[in-house]
Structure 1
Amino acid sequence: MTDRRFPRSVYGVGDEPDPRFSLANERTFLAWIRTALALLAVGVAIEALALGADPVLRFIAGLIFIALGAAAAVYGWVSWLRTERALRQNRALSGPTAGVYVVVGVVVAILLLVAGMLL
Structure 2
Amino acid sequence: MFELGEEPDPRFTLANERTFLAWIRTGLALIAGGVAVDAVRLPIAPAIRVAVALVLLLFGLLIPLLAWLSWAATERALRLGRPLPGSAITLPLAVGVLIVGVLIAVGVLVG
For Structure 1 versus Structure 2, the TM-score category normalised by the shorter chain is over 0.9
Report the counterpart of residue 81 of structure 1 in structure 2.
Answer: 72
Structure 1 consecutive aligned stretches of length 4 or more whose deviation exceeds 6 Å: none
Deviation track 1:76-109 (CA, whole Å, cap 9, x = no partner) reads 1111111111111111111123212211211211
Deviation at 1:35, TM superposition (A): 0.5
Decide which structure has greater helix share.
Answer: 2
The code of the aligned residue for 2:24 comes to I
| Higher Cα radius of gyration | 1
Match of 2:3 among 5, 12, 22: 12
Unaligned stretches of 5+ residues in structure 2: none
Secondary structure of the corresponding residue to residue 27 of structure 1: helix
Deviation at 1:52, TM superposition (A): 1.0
Superposition CA RMSD, Å: 1.0
Secondary structure of the corresponding residue to residue 11 of structure 1: coil
Cα distance between partner residues in 2 of 1:17 and 1:54:
52
Report the counterpart of residue 24 of structure 2 in structure 1.
Answer: 33
Cα distance between partner residues in 2 of 1:81 and 1:32:
13
Cα distance between partner residues in 1 of 2:106 and 2:12:
44
Deviation track 1:42-99 (CA, whole Å, cap 9, x = no partner) reads 0110001111111111111111111111111101111111111111111111112321
Q: Give the TM-score taking structure 2 as reference length.
A: 0.93
Q: How many residues are paired up?
A: 110
Identity over the aligned pairs, expressed in percent?
46
Q: Give the TM-score taking structure 1 as reference length.
A: 0.87
Deviation at 1:37, TM superposition (A): 0.5
Report the counterpart of residue 3 of structure 1 in structure 2.
Answer: none
Cα distance between partner residues in 2 of 1:97 and 1:89:
20
